Amino acid sequence: MKILVTNDDGILSEGLWTLVKELKEIARVTVVAPDREQSAVGTAVTLRQPIRAQKVKPAIPGVETYAVEGTPSDSVILALGKLVTGKVDLVISGINHGMNLGEDVHISGTVGAALQGYLRGFTSLAISAAYGNRQSRDIAARVAVILAKKITTDSLPAGIFLNVNLPDLPLAKIGGVRITRLASGSHINTVEEGNDGRQDYYWLVRQRADGAAERETDIWAVEQGDISITPLYLKRSGKLSLAILNNMCSDILKELRKQQ
Ligand code: MN
């Protein structure tokens, strides 16, 4: 199995290497990721200047790794168009530091990168965990492995695009795994004003969810203490039924508990 890993937190991000460490056990992994943090750049693509990529020393030995002077989307386009040879089975973007929920997925660089994989016909996952929670990142990496196995053993149809979010909880307290839809609204809804001693500035601030999310949405699920899996762009994956997805969810939980 061959997996392309990218992210929007940059090549040095702990979340990225937590993911690679687990995936390396089941697949050949190539990392192509931005050389610096690019969170919230969404689907941005660099068209008006050249893009440079450098093969760099991986944090985990034996993993072919490229640092891209560009956006997360640039990284995936470059990887699939040039840098990675042979058949890629799966594109995974993450593990993002901080959840990507609701309509904010449209500005997420993590989701933006996975979108480029999906648009090129590859099964793609965007995976995000609670900010600053190492345990949550570890569980996220294990969920990635479980999903990767399912996708490559044909129990899931090819060409799907899933947005996965882990709640801010230890495994013992995670209640379940749920298929969700995107909650409406953006969390980046506050503009703070200040003065740096020279001039006034504005700062766009992310607010936490207020507990008013609709049932069955991604925000609701993580507030409940569940792992949320939102299928994005379902149209292309005609065979993907709710039954398949729900089976997938109960299998993930069983596997996680088994390994506990
Ligand atoms: Mn990020």
Query: What is residue 168's predicted lDDT score, i.e. its pLDDT?
Result: 93
Query: What is residue 246's predicted lDDT score, i.e. its pLDDT?
Result: 87
How much distance in Å is there from the Cα of 97 to the middle of ligand 1? 6
How much distance in Å is there from the Cα of 162 to the middle of ligand 1? 17
Residue corresponding to tokens 């569940």: 226
How much distance in Å is there from the Cα of 70 to the middle of ligand 1? 14
How much distance in Å is there from the Cα of 95 to the middle of ligand 1? 8
How much distance in Å is there from the Cα of 129 to the middle of ligand 1? 10
Q: How many CB atoms lie within 10 A of CB 44?
A: 16
| 8 Å CB contact between 41 and 8 | yes
What are the pLDDT tens digits along the chain (260 aa)?
999 999 999 999 999 999 999 999 999 999 999 999 999 999 999 999 999 999 999 999 999 999 999 999 999 999 999 999 889 999 999 999 999 999 999 999 999 999 999 999 999 999 999 988 899 999 999 999 999 999 888 778 778 899 999 999 999 999 999 999 999 877 777 899 999 999 999 998 877 666 778 999 999 999 999 999 999 976 555 566 788 888 899 999 999 999 76
Q: Please tell me the total number of residues recorded for the chain in this structure.
A: 260
How much distance in Å is there from the Cα of 100 to the middle of ligand 1? 9
Query: What is residue 84's predicted lDDT score, i.e. its pLDDT?
Result: 96
How much distance in Å is there from the Cα of 173 to the middle of ligand 1? 25
Query: What is residue 235's predicted lDDT score, i.e. its pLDDT?
Result: 58
How much distance in Å is there from the Cα of 189 to the middle of ligand 1? 18
How much distance in Å is there from the Cα of 21 to the middle of ligand 1? 19
HEC string of 154-186 equals: CCCCCCCEEEEEECCCCHHHCCCEEECECCCCC
Q: State the alpha helices, DSSP H only, in the chain.
A: 14-23, 72-78, 109-119, 134-152, 218-224, 242-258
How much distance in Å is there from the Cα of 4 to the middle of ligand 1? 17
- Residue ranges with CB less than 5 Å from ion ligand 1: 8-9, 39, 96
Q: Sign of the C-alpha dihedral, residues 152, 153, 157, 162?
A: negative
